[in-house]
Amino acid sequence: MLMMRPHAGFSLIELMVSVAIIAILSAIAVPELRSMIQDSRIQAMAHNILNGLQLARTEAIRRNLPVEFDLVPAGVAVDATQVAAIIPNATGQSWMVRVQDPVNGAIFVESKTSDQGGLDNVQVVGVASITFNGLGANTMAAQAQYNLSYPNGGACATVATPNVGLRCLRIQVSPGGQGRICDPVVSVGDNRHC
């Protein structure tokens, strides 16, 4: 006796329902994913700048000489041959560290460019140049700050709407020279607050 087995597989209706569910989930997830990527780029740029500030401060203490941290426009290549000619820019997306040696002039330490990994779309607005003295203090005698945002990605979250928009960050450099990344949106009791 010959028995007929049912065919294994999906019917057209089951396949269409599955595709519809995937499309709905994708429509919900894609904007969140895009926002998460933009937030991570802002964080990456904040850490990039903070690393440069810490390098400049450490180099100032190590050499016991004034050391500058300078924002440089994106796409400007910086090396030892042109270190004295670079003009800092308050909206630069790359950075450079140079020693201000009274005998030898400007000495190149290190630079980083932002033109990799989408960081060139992060907007940085702050102090064009900070000089650290031999004790590691910020010679401005005031707090310096850098505000980071992602203009192509939309508006930053605000205190009134903390869950709407991007998580734009701020870097603060105290008069003593310590740098930290903070979030201007979080409440006063939070240690991430600016």
Confidence of residue 17 (pLDDT cuts 50, 70, 90): confident
Position 40 in a domain: yes
What are the residues facing 126 on neighbouring strands? 146
Position 64 in a domain: yes
Instruction: For residue 68, give the nearest of 42, 92, 41, 46 by alpha carbon.
Output: 92
Position 44 in a domain: yes
Position 4 in a domain: no
Cβ atoms 185, 194 nearer than 8 A: no
Which CATH number does the domain housing residue 53 bear? 3.55.40.10
| Predicted model pTM | 0.79
Cβ atoms 162, 129 nearer than 8 A: no
Task: Please report, for residues 3, 15, 35, 44, the alpha-carbon distance to residue 7 in angstroms, rounded to integers and kept in the order given.
Answer: 12, 15, 44, 53
Sequence-ordered list of residues with C-beta below 8 angstroms from that of 82, at least 6 positions apart, any chain: none
Percent pLDDT > 70 in the chain is 90
Instruction: For residue 183, give the nearest of 20, 39, 67, 51 by alpha carbon.
Output: 39
* Mean pLDDT across the chain: 83
Position 187 in a domain: no
Sequence-ordered list of residues with C-beta below 8 angstroms from that of 36, at least 6 positions apart, any chain: none
Strand order in the sheet with 105-112: 105-112, 94-101, 67-72, 129-132
User: How many folded domains does the chain comprise?
Assistant: 1
Task: Please report, for residues 4, 18, 96, 109, 169, the alpha-carbon distance to residue 80 in angstroms, rounded to integers and kept in the order given.
Answer: 81, 59, 11, 8, 31
* pLDDT tens, residue by residue, 108-118: 888 887 765 55
Position 147 in a domain: yes
Strand order in the sheet with 123-126: 123-126, 144-149, 169-173, 179-182
Query: What is the C-alpha separation between 42 and 54, in angstroms, rounded?
Result: 18
pLDDT, position 6: 63
Percent pLDDT > 90 in the chain is 30
In this structure, what token pair is assigned to residue 169? Answer: 């960050």
Better-predicted residue by pLDDT, 71 or 34: 71
| Structural domain containing residue 173 | 30-182
Which helix (H) or strand (E) element contains residue 182?
Answer: strand 179-182
Q: What is the mean pLDDT of residues 174-192?
A: 87
* pLDDT tens, residue by residue, 18-39: 888 888 887 776 667 777 888 8
Position 106 in a domain: yes
Position 161 in a domain: yes
